[in-house]
Structure 1
Amino acid sequence: MENNNIDYILEEKAINLKISYLQKSNFTTLMTTSNTCCIMLCEKGSCHLTLKQNQYEIKPKTLLYTYLPFSVSKEDISNDFKAIYITYNHLTSDNIGVFKYISPYIFVMLENPVVELTEKKFEWLMSFCEIIRRKQEIEDDNIAKEAFNRTMMVTLLVEVRNIYKDLSIKNNISPNDVRYTRSVQITKDFFNLLMQHFTIHRDIRFYAEKMCISPKHLSSSLKKTTGQTCNKFIGNIVVMEAKQQLLSTNKTVQQIAFDLSFPNASFFGKFFKKNTGISPNAFRSQHEKIVKKV
């Protein structure tokens, strides 16, 4: 892959996806925040980082996938290090759109942030990222760019999900595996319950009672494993479902509010705007224009 020091920023505000090609020559300090998910594919050399007090080595043909904050300095990478580095805001509702596919493997991801890939899988992912990079070079229309970015982001995350699915099968890891820490188990159970009940229940106390633990215990466990709060995940999954209904159905805002157990359309509208910065009707209208333009 041709070296390029430019960051290709995919101009979808909700996703904020960035692709960088990292080498020793253009490397300073790499830092992620609690809102950032990182995907790294190492082509050559090595990199060392610490996650949850555990040391990991990134080496050729390995994938790093994590949404826990970390930092890497220039001293942590080898002189011949070369990798593709992707970040995006994992809290945005558009990204959570694939959450239902990822959630069954979330505990495997937490325990295995670094995965060795087969030659074919590694080459495919590198080629896929190169397609995104090239598209950014030739596409000038921001609306078309946004639609392309959204599709590619979902595809990339499903690819990552399949890698962890294969890892689970290879290592004979079942959804009820008891080898994982209590905090990870609590996190997994919370996500499973969330997918079943988020359209009705948005109170952390409900999920804590279902798991026979205190709300404080649930919050601290989720914060420990993901760096995020229960309310943040609950809010984002509700907004994701609202967006899907706004874009894929002819339901009125009142009907969607009812489906998601809001007392009325006004309350739902305020919730939606607080989390997205735009009203439900404006969101629907905006994306209808994007579809027509593309």
Structure 2
Amino acid sequence: MEQQGYPIYDIAGFAASRPDIVVKPFAPYRMEHHKLQVPHRHRFYHLVYFTKGSGHHTIDFDRFPVKPHQLYAMVPGQVHHWEFEGDVDGYVLNFSASFFQSFLLRPDYIDDFPFFQGLAQQSVMDIPQSMRTHVTDLFQEMIPLAVSNNILSLDKLRVLILRLFLDLAGMRAETRPGRLSYNATLLRNFQKMVDKHFSELRLPRDYAAMLHITPNHLNAICSDLLGQSAGEVIRNRIALEAKRLLINPALSVTTVAYMLNFEDNSYFTKFFKKNAGMTPEAFRKSFAITNKPSG
């Protein structure tokens, strides 16, 4: 589905049998959806495991090479597009936010996996040789289950998907948030709050109050675990959303500034230039030139 000239896709447009889950080989999926090379967003979780192919994948303006035995995971709202070279194959998994809600006690359980936190650098994984057969077998077992309307089959599918996610998290030696240190848990909660409130809450003290800690404590946590201040975390999230909106040709710079709650266009331009190193107009122009769809 397109809104205001900018592609934003719902999972229903990709699902043949069920409106909340898609699991299939990537090659036919790519043939069915020709517009994947145009920058777009999804309203669903999106995961691709490549077994064959080359090219590049851009996620939120970070560009990664596509290569065999590489896995990409994305959350709703991220902007991405592909630039493939030659034949590409593998597996794709799309699922809606509601697919696990009735199955899991915690609705936000999926979001706590490190590769589903909306950070491009954490969402790209090279699968080691020792795990490749296992990952392929999981996808092969998922495919027939994804087209079933049998509740037991769907629950089995959910279990297989969760097993994949847990194995991927274990591969990176990551632990679940319940086992993180107190400060690491605070940081994750801060990042979630910023992701939800960045357009209206701009100051670290606002988030510190919600976390029931002092602004100094929040800054110390961010500095220790991220190497940046709490204010930088907030500003970086605003700048990322600005970039996501600016590549929509239907939105003027003034409209983007308004959507992000900037008082005037000049203040937004000043903010963007300081954080992105160029004006909004220059960013839009450079992205349009360097990211024209191929083929």
TM-score, with normalisation over the residues of structure 1? 0.49
Higher relative contact order (CA 8 A, sep 6+): 1
TM-score, with normalisation over the residues of structure 2? 0.49
